[in-house]
């Protein structure tokens, strides 16, 4: 079994910062891409930032220059540092990992349960 658990969400004022963490645990052989996605009320889930096992990153245009994704491969953990937050960043943020477990050779996508980020004065 593989679990993906996020933490670090909350309420912050516009212009503030938050740091999200996501840890994968269980029967993990290898993790390829990890990333953060978000879903605001009434909208589709969208990609925020992704990072490969080699450290290559990709960001949504709306967060470039404000958010930074990083990972600790030894701890199977990915982070999202969010600065200069705006009300439009309000959403549930989900962690994703492409994970190979001990059941076979394929990588499967695992999602966390989500953490709420609210940007409001």
Q: Residues 28-55: pLDDT tens digits? A: 999 999 999 999 999 999 999 999 999 9
Candidates 88, 110, 71; CA nearest to 14 is 88
Give the pLDDT band of residue 103 (cuts 50, 70, 90). confident
Name the more confident of 105 and 65. Answer: 65
Instruction: For the chain, give percent helix, strand, coil, nearest 5.
Output: 5, 60, 35
- Flag whether pLDDT at 104 surpasses 80: no
- pLDDT at 90 > cutoff 90: yes
On average, the pLDDT of the chain sits at 96
- Give the pLDDT band of residue 105 (cuts 50, 70, 90): confident
* CB half-sphere exposure, 104, CA atoms < 13 A: 3
Cα–Cα distance, 20 to 10 (Å, whole number): 10
pLDDT digits (tens, 9 = 90+) for 55-87: 999 999 999 999 999 999 999 999 999 999 999
């Amino acid at each position: 079994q593989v679990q993906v658990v996020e933490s670090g969400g909350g309420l912050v004022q516009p212009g503030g910062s938050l740091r999200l963490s996501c840890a994968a645990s269980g029967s993990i052989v290898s993790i390829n891409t990890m990333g953060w996605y978000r879903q605001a009320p009434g909208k589709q889930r969208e990609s925020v930032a992704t990072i490969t096992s080699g450290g290559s990153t990709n960001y949504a245009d709306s967060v470039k220059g404000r958010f930074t994704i990083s990972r600790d491969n030894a701890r199977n953990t990915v982070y999202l540092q969010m600065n200069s937050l705006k009300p439009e960043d309000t959403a549930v943020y989900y962690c994703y990992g492409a994970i190979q477990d001990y059941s076979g050779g394929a990588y499967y996508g695992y999602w966390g349960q989500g953490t709420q980020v609210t940007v409001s004065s």
